[in-house]
Amino acid sequence: MLKLRYPSTEEQGKHFYCHILGLAEIEKPDSLKGRGGFWLQVGNKEVHVGTEDGFNRLTTKAHLAYHVDDISYWRKKLEKNNIEILNSVPIPNYERFEFRDPFGNRVEMIREL
């Protein structure tokens, strides 16, 4: 499995979110462009991805979760791109797994059964 180095570059993050996960990047306001990070469109919501040095993301439970219809598709797609799949604590009536993005952030894919 691919072992990602933390912190990642913004370009690695954009590749991961836009090309592997297939999310569309949207333009940030001019007043925020010099601060780093990027914004994504997820359905009718926006996800703002910031960059920050000196923070150990592996020590926090904080995470982003995507509710998906076809969880096996996402597991296979991530494995195909050498993303390590992490098992999650079971939740009744849900199927789920976790992984780390190129910045080390915990991300969850979850599907209601």
pLDDT digits (tens, 9 = 90+) for 30-79: 999 888 889 999 999 999 988 777 666 777 777 889 999 999 999 999 99
What residues does each domain of the chain span?
7-53, 61-113
CATH superfamily to which 7-53 belongs = 2,3-Dihydroxybiphenyl 1,2-Dioxygenase, domain 1 (3.10.180.10)
Per-residue pLDDT, 73: 98
Q: Residue 91 carries which DSSP code? A: -
**Domain 61-113 is in which class?**
alpha beta
Q: What's the pLDDT tens digit per position in 68-108?
A: 999 999 999 999 999 999 988 999 999 999 999 988 889 99
Would you state the structure tokens that stand for residue 106, as one six-digit string? Answer: 């915990």
Q: The sheet that has 45-49: what strands, in order across it?
A: 24-26, 38-42, 45-49
Nearest one of 24, 29, 22 to 40, comparing CA atoms: 24
| pLDDT value at residue 2 | 39
Closest CA to 59 of 108, 106, 99: 106
Do the first three CATH levels of 7-53 and 61-113 match, i.e. the same topology? yes
Tokens 């990070």 sit on residue: 37
